[in-house]
Structure 1
Amino acid sequence: MSSFNRISGNHKQGGALQQLSSLLGQTMRLENVADLKGGLPTIPINDLRGEEAAAYPREDCVLRRSLAALYRLIDMRGWTHSIYNHISARCTTNPNHFLINPFGLLYHEIQASSLVKIDANGNIVDQGSSVLGVNKAGWTLHSALHSARKDINCIIHVHLADVIAVSCLRAGLMPVSPEAIELVSNHGVRYHEYRGILVDEAERSSIVKDLGSKAKVLFLRNHGVAVTASSIPEAWYLVKRVIAACQTQDSAVQLTDGQVDQSEEIGSNVIDQNKNGHTSVNGKAGSDNGDISWTPAELEFEAEMRVLDSAGFRTGHVYRQPNLLRRTHPGSSWPGDTYGDQITGADLLTTDFSTNEFSGVEDLAAAEAAGAEQVSRLVSSIKQFS
Structure 2
Amino acid sequence: MARKVVVAGVGMVPFTKPGASETYDLMGAAAARLALQDARVDYKAIQQAYTAFVYGDSCAGQRALYHVGMTGIPIINVNNNCATGSTGLFLARQAIEAGALDVALVVGFEQMNPGALGSYFNDRPLPADLFLQRCDALMGTQEIPPALRIFGGAGLDHMQRFGTPVETFAKIRAKASRHAANNPLAVFRKVITPEDVMADQPVWPGVMTRLMACPPTCGAAAAVLCSEEYARKHDIDARVWIAAQAMSTDFADTFETDMRYVAGFGMARAASQQVYEASGIGADDVDVVELHDCFAHNELITYEGLGLCPEGGAAKFVDDGDNTYGGKYVVNPSGGLLSKGHPLGATGLAQCTELVQQLRGTAEKRQVEGARVALQHNVGIGGACVVTMYRI
Give the TM-score range, shorter chain. under 0.3
- TM-score, normalization by structure 2: 0.26
TM-score, normalised by the number of residues in structure 1 = 0.26
Higher relative contact order (CA 8 A, sep 6+): 2
Computing the radius of gyration from Cα coordinates, the structure with the larger value is 1
Which has the larger share of helix?
A: 1
Which is richer in strand?
2
